Homo-oligomer: A and B are copies of this chain.
Amino acid sequence: MKVIKFGGSSLASAEQLKKVLNIVKSDSTRRFVVVSAPGKRHSEDTKVTDALIKYYKHYITDYNFSEDQDWIINRYQSITDELGLRPAILEEIAGAIKDLATLPKEDNAFLYDTFLAAGEDNNAKLIAEYFRTEGLNARYIHPKEAGLIVTSEPGNARILPSSYDKLEELRESDEILVIPGFFGVTVDNHICTFSRGGSDITGSIIAAGVKADLYENFTDVDGIFAAHPGVVDKPHSIKELTYREMRELAYAGFSVLHDEALIPAYRGQIPLVIKNTNNPDHPGTRIVLEPSSSATPVVGISGDNDFVSINMSKYLMNREVGFGRKVLQILEELNIRFEHMPTGIDDMSIIVRGRELTPIKEQEIISQLTRKLEVDEVSIERNLSILMIVGENMKSKIGVTATATKALSEAGINLMMISQGASELSVMFVVRTEDEKTAVRALYDAFFE
C-alpha cells in the first residue's frame, strides 16, 4: 500500500482536485492521502495558511476579523461550488473557521497552531467529501483518531515514538483515509504543528507508521533537478537518488523537500517518490535506501551562499593537544553550529553559516581566539558559497574530483577550499559567492552535458 501526499499548489482549485482524484483513482493501493491547505492558484494569490495567520493576528488584537473569515470561507466555497459538493460540507467548514474565534486567548500556547492547522484540517474534510461524491470509499480522519500524538512544542511538534503502534492499526482500514498534514495532537488534546516541511512530515510519519511500500510526494515539479533551474538552463531531473544523496543535496540549497521531513520515512526504510500532480505520467524522482549500480557517479550539483570562514593560524598549532577542541568550545558557548573545519598544519578554518555569526559574536570569537588560544593571526572572510557534487557511486570511480577541479579551473574559478571526506558521497568546494553560478554551470556541464 502507498501513502500519497499532495502539496498546496496541487490542492489550490477544483481543477487541481480533479487531477488529484484521477491520481488516487488510478491506483487502488493509494490508501492514505495526506493533504496540505489550499495553496496559490497563481503567483498573486494568497495561501489559505497566510490568510489564517492574518485572521489569528486580528483575533488576538481584537481587530475586526469578519473579512478574514469571509475570505477563507469563500476560498473553500469556490472549490465546493465548482466541484458540485453538497452544501453540508461547506457549512461544516464555515462553522469550523468561525469557531476559531471562540477559543480562549489567554494562557493558550496552542492558539496559533490551532488557527494554522485549520487550513489543512478543513481541506481534508473537503477532499474526503469530494472523493466520496466521486464514488471512492474515502473518509476524513483527524490526527487524533489516526493516532498522531506529538510533543507539546508549539510550532515544533515531534512525533511520540509510542504513536507508531497506533498508526500501524490504520493498515486494517479498507477505506481511503484522508489525513490533514502539518499537525498532530498532544496528550492533552491540543493541536500542535510541526516545524518546516509540515505536511511532508505527516506523510513521512504515516508512511513509516503503516509500513507503506512507497511514500508518494506530489508537488508541482517533475521531481528533483540535477542542478538549480535558475542557474542551469533546463537541467535534467534525477531518476533516482538515495536518502543520503538527497540529504547532501538539501544541505547546500536543494529544497524540494525539507530533509528533516524525511527522517521518519528514512528510519522506517520506506522508499519515496517525488512526482508532479500536473504531469503524473512522468516517473518523477525516486528516493531509495541503497544506490543502484547503474547510477551515474554524480547525481546532482548544489550550491548555497552566505557562508563565512573564520581563518586562524598559529605556529606549531598542530602540536597542541586540544587546540581544535578549544576552538569548537568557543563556538559552542556562543551557540554557533560549525559546518566544516578544514585544517592545514599551522592553520585551521571554521566555516559557519552567515546567519549564525552576528557582529557581536564575531568580535567575541576574535577576542577569545587571540586572548585564550593565542593564535598568531585570525581573519574573517564573508560572502562565500559552498558547492557540492553528490553521488554515492563516486567512490567506485577514480577521477571525479579531477573532472570537477579541471572544470572549475577552466572556468577561471579560484577554489578557496576543497574537501572530500571519507564517505566519498560528496565533494565540497568553497568559492566566492560572485563565482557561484559560473561554478555550478561549469560543474553541470562537466558531469551532465
Give A contacts to B, CB under 8 Å.
244, 247-248, 251, 260, 263, 266-267, 309, 311, 313, 315-316, 318-319, 321-322, 324-325, 328-329, 331-332, 335-349, 381, 398-399, 401-402, 405-406, 408-410, 412-428
Which chain B residue shows the least CB distance to A260? B316
B426 & A349 in contact (Cβ 8 Å cutoff): no
Take A418-B420, A420-B417 as given contacts and tell me if A341 and B324 are in contact as well, using a CB distance cutoff of 8 Å. Answer: yes
Give the CA-CA distance A4 to B423 in the complex, in Å.
50
Which chain B residue shows the least CB distance to A349? B422
Residues of B within 8 A of A381 (CB): 422
What are 17 pairs between A and B in contact, CB < 8 Å?
A244-B346, A248-B345, A248-B346, A251-B345, A318-B337, A321-B335, A324-B338, A339-B343, A341-B341, A342-B419, A342-B422, A345-B426, A347-B422, A398-B409, A402-B405, A406-B406, A417-B420
Take A335-B321, A338-B324 as given contacts and tell me if A263 and B419 are in contact as well, using a CB distance cutoff of 8 Å. Answer: no
Which chain B residue shows the least CB distance to A401? B405
A341 & B343 in contact (Cβ 8 Å cutoff): yes
**Besides A324-B338, A344-B423, 4 other A-B contacts (C-beta < 8 A):** A263-B315, A313-B423, A401-B418, A402-B410
Take A343-B419, A415-B420 as given contacts and tell me if A324 and B315 are in contact as well, using a CB distance cutoff of 8 Å. Answer: no
Residues of B within 8 A of A332 (CB): 321-322, 325
Which chain B residue shows the least CB distance to A396? B414
Residues of B within 8 A of A418 (CB): 401, 418-420, 427
B420 & A343 in contact (Cβ 8 Å cutoff): no
Most B CB contacts (10 A, CB to CB) among A313, A412, A420, A421 go to: A421
Question: 6 closest Cβ contacts across the A-B interface?
Answer: A399-B409, A325-B328, A402-B409, A402-B405, A349-B422, A344-B421
Give the CA-CA distance A47 to B339 in the complex, in Å.
52
Give the CA-CA distance A63 to B209 in the complex, in Å.
80
Give the CA-CA distance A320 to B381 in the complex, in Å.
24
Residues of B within 8 A of A325 (CB): 325, 328-329, 331-332
A413 & B398 in contact (Cβ 8 Å cutoff): yes
Give the CA-CA distance A423 to B316 in the complex, in Å.
15
Within 8 Å by CB of A423, from B248, B311, B341, lies B311
Give the CA-CA distance A315 to B342 in the complex, in Å.
21
Residues of B within 8 A of A321 (CB): 332, 335-337
Residues of B within 8 A of A267 (CB): 315
A343 & B263 in contact (Cβ 8 Å cutoff): no
Within 8 Å by CB of A417, from B263, B313, B337, B422, lies B422
A343 & B421 in contact (Cβ 8 Å cutoff): yes
